[in-house]
Structure 1
Amino acid sequence: MSRTSNRADGDIIRDFLSVANLLKESQLAQLYAYLVHEDEATVQDVIEDLELSQGTAYRNVNRLVDAGVVEVTHDEQPRRYAAREIDLTVTTAAGDREYTITPVLIDAVGRAETNDDIDTYIDRHGVAGLATTLTYAVARERGNVTHRMVAEDLDISPFAAEMILQALRPVVHEHYEIKENGAGIGELDIDDGDAADDA
């Protein structure tokens, strides 16, 4: 059974910790992104669409409700749930970078559940690194940067830059108004030296 959150509005620390859990667990991020996309859903919808067991679906929905990032929108059976908007700006520990946690970033983190390139990138560069790269992915799809420019700015190989930009492409196109004219991996000038650089 779902429980409503008892957290007080405006509790910044609790809000941050709730969002931090989303960013640590790709399955929770995936569920949150699903609810953002669907506007509202029942647990049965979650079970069917995300192919989760009944126990996992109920447990994860309850965790998100308790964290205050999902709310019950219809309390009668079957209960319906919706994601709350998240827009939280964070500065890295070194103070050298600032990034904003939005449903788009949470969606990208959630895709690590099924996309090895995103999962590997998060392992190597963290969520802050993914947030920065997501900004570049939007710019790339708009034709403002190339994968080589991204590689140079992020200090990664052009091959690694192309792999993560391609992995983030569906996220970008789902959340932003962008014409379908970005470069496909087969159209890029990736040479064997790029792949060797990444190894």
Structure 2
Amino acid sequence: MSPTSHRTDGDIVQDFLLVADLLEEPQLARLYAYLAREGEATVQDMMDDLELAQGTAYSYVNRLVDAGVVDVTDDEQPRRYAAREIDLTVTTAADDREYMITPALIDAVGRRETDADIDTYIDRHGVTGLATALTYAVARERGEVTHRLMAEDFDISPLAAEMILQALRPVAHEHYDIEEAGAGLDEVAEIFGE
């Protein structure tokens, strides 16, 4: 669902409106992120892995199919579903900043219901603030920035920056190519024969 030069403005606006539902409803974002991560899944898989009631799972997957962000990949029973790639760039009018709406951002929004730090951060800084924090989280995991730099850039406390960076760490590792730096605790224990 990446906007390209052959698309009309109406198509791009429609894409954005479809994605807006995902950014407003963490339950839908969580299901979309699950499908993006898994590749394909049945409703039963969704029910089992996400602990959803049958009616809820069918309702959510139908909404995502109707919105055009999830496709039915196999019409045979049980049907299989897959997420469509989402990659939109939004420029805000207020400060001319660009924000990427990607599966990683949608995944982060989907974690809002299960992670109080992400929920609080979205309440205070909105989804656009979360998009920027995700950029910092990826850069931090790559060793390019620190929580103090993010705190300074955002005019927030270093503690608040550290909390959101820690909350977004799993998202960064699941969606971006990040090389592990240094030896882990298990490797250190092996070196010392523990």
TM bucket normalised to smaller: 0.7 to 0.9
Q: Name the structure 2 match of 1:73.
A: 73
TM-score, length of structure 1 as denominator length: 0.84
TM-score, length of structure 2 as denominator length: 0.86
> How far has the Cα of 1:159 moved from its partner?
0.3
For the residue of structure 1 that corresponds to 2:107, the secondary structure is helix
Q: Name the structure 2 match of 1:121.
A: 121
Q: Which portions of structure 1, spanning 4 or more consecutive aligned residues, are displaced by more than 6 angstroms?
A: none
Contact preservation (8 Å) 1:92, 1:128 = no
Structure 2 residue 85 is the aligned partner of structure 1 residue 85: yes
Q: Name the structure 2 match of 1:135.
A: 135
For the residue of structure 1 that corresponds to 2:143, the secondary structure is coil
Letter aligned with residue 156 of structure 2: I
Q: Name the structure 1 match of 2:106.
A: 106
For the residue of structure 2 that corresponds to 1:77, the secondary structure is coil
For the residue of structure 1 that corresponds to 2:65, the secondary structure is helix
Give the distance between the partners of 1:96 and 1:155, measured in 2 at CA. Answer: 19
Q: Name the structure 2 match of 1:35.
A: 35
> How far has the Cα of 1:94 moved from its partner?
0.8
> How far has the Cα of 1:150 moved from its partner?
0.6
Give the distance between the partners of 2:91 and 2:75, measured in 1 at CA. Answer: 37
Letter aligned with residue 96 of structure 1: D
Distance verdict in 2 for CA 1:113–1:181, change over 3 Å: farther
Q: Report the aligned-residue RMSD.
A: 1.3
Q: Name the structure 2 match of 1:189.
A: none
- Unaligned stretches of 5+ in structure 2? 1-6, 183-194
Give the distance between the partners of 2:150 and 2:167, measured in 1 at CA. Answer: 14
Q: Name the structure 1 match of 2:50.
A: 50
For the residue of structure 2 that corresponds to 1:76, the secondary structure is coil
> How far has the Cα of 1:175 moved from its partner?
1.2
Q: Name the structure 2 match of 1:195.
A: none
> How far has the Cα of 1:173 moved from its partner?
0.8
Letter aligned with residue 31 of structure 1: L
Contact preservation (8 Å) 1:26, 1:110 = yes
Letter aligned with residue 62 of structure 1: N
Give the distance between the partners of 2:146 and 2:12, measured in 1 at CA. Answer: 37
> How far has the Cα of 1:58 moved from its partner?
0.3
> How far has the Cα of 1:92 moved from its partner?
1.6
> How many aligned residue pairs are there?
174
Letter aligned with residue 52 of structure 1: L
Contact preservation (8 Å) 1:43, 1:80 = yes
Give the distance between the partners of 2:34 and 2:65, measured in 1 at CA. Answer: 14
For the residue of structure 2 that corresponds to 1:73, the secondary structure is strand
